[in-house]
Every structure is written in C-alpha cells, then in structure tokens.
Amino acid sequence: MRIYTRRGDDGTTGLLFGGRVRKDDPAVEACGAVDEAQAAIGVARATADPGSELDRLLIGIERDLYVLMAELATAPANRAKLVAGTTSVTADMVTSLEPVIDAVGARFDPPTEFVLPGQSATSAALDVARTAVRRAERRSLAVAAPGSHVVPYLNRLSDLLWTLARWQEDRTLPARPDRPEELP
C-alpha cells in the first residue's frame, strides 16, 4: 500500500461520504486544527505512564476527536449519513466530560493567580494541547452545522485539559522566582 495517492496534488482533498474541496476550505482548516489538537494530546499522553489513568483518559479523548473530525469532514449535503457517536458528536459526549472535570478538579486546590505553564513536562504538554483545542474550537465555529455538538465538545475539552494540567503539575518542585532579576 502506498501512502500517496496524488489526488491532492491539485490542492483539493476528499470529504467523508464524497465530494472534494480546496485544502484551504474552512472545513479542512477546522479538521486540520482538530488534527493538531489530537497530536498535541498524543504528545501529552506520551509523557504519562502507559496504562495510567491519564493515559487511558487521553486515549478516549483522542478517539472522540476522530468522531469530531468525521463530522467536520462531511459536506452539508451528506450530514444525514452521519451516525451519532460514530461520525457525529453527541450531547452525551459533551456532558460526559463534565464529571471528569469535576472529579479531577477535586484533587487539587485551584490556583489563586494566573498559571505559568511549565511546572512539569506533562502539565506543559497538556497546556499546549489545551491551546490547540481552543484554536480548533475557533476554526470549527465557521463550519459546525446548526445543532452540532462539535463546538461545545471542544469548549468542554479545553476545560478538561486545563484541569488535567493543573492536576499533573509537580508541586514538589521548588518555587520558581517570579522575576528574572531574582534568579541566582
């Protein structure tokens, strides 16, 4: 099997259930942003212990993002072919993130000031993933169909990633100086 097809050499790409659009089409931009977010989540997952709670949670999220991309990669004329939970995001997928946010958030004291990413490799990777999800959310606004749960899912996911990052911060590191002039 060859990975290249040459069909995209003309600057177009195929959509789920058929049709082609330019690679700079807003739907393709949204899918690309979600793809970046999924990859960033993969980087965060790579810093977690294999089989850990965080690893398993992030795998589930990465799989959800395949569903979300399928919905975004479907032309409006073919949206009736989408299958809830398989190729389109459901309300349950959105609300299922909320108890996870609440449960993880109960494991740490919330920050009392703005967070400076980088307390640990995992928390920093989760913060990068969160910002990628926010970009995907902004790109998806232009193409999500009325009544779609794509944007709410991404909104909730960014909240979850922020919460996971705070949970993963290594609080055993010594306090870092706030200003460069305080460095030794």
CA trace torsion 131, 135, 141, 147 (10° rounding): -40
The fold of the 20-101+118-166 domain, in CATH, is Hypothetical Protein Ta1238; Chain: A; (1.20.1200)
Contact assessment for residue 13 and residue 115, using Cβ atoms and an 8 Å cutoff:
no
Model pLDDT, residue 16 = 95
Domain limits, the chain: 20-101+118-166
By the 10 Å C-beta count (0-12 exposed, 13-18 middle, 19+ buried), 20 is classed as middle
Q: Rounded mean pLDDT of 101-107?
A: 94
pLDDT confidence of residue 170? 52
Radius of gyration for the chain, computed over Cα atoms and rounded to the nearest angstrom: 19
Q: Does the pTM exceed 0.85?
A: yes
User: pLDDT by residue (tens digit) across 5-28?
Assistant: 998 999 999 999 999 999 999 999
Taking only the tens place, the pLDDT of each residue in 28-81 is 999 999 999 999 999 999 999 999 999 999 999 999 999 999 999 999 999 999
pLDDT band at 113 (very low <50, low <70, confident <90, very high): confident
Inter-residue contact 56 to 44 (CB < 8 Å): no
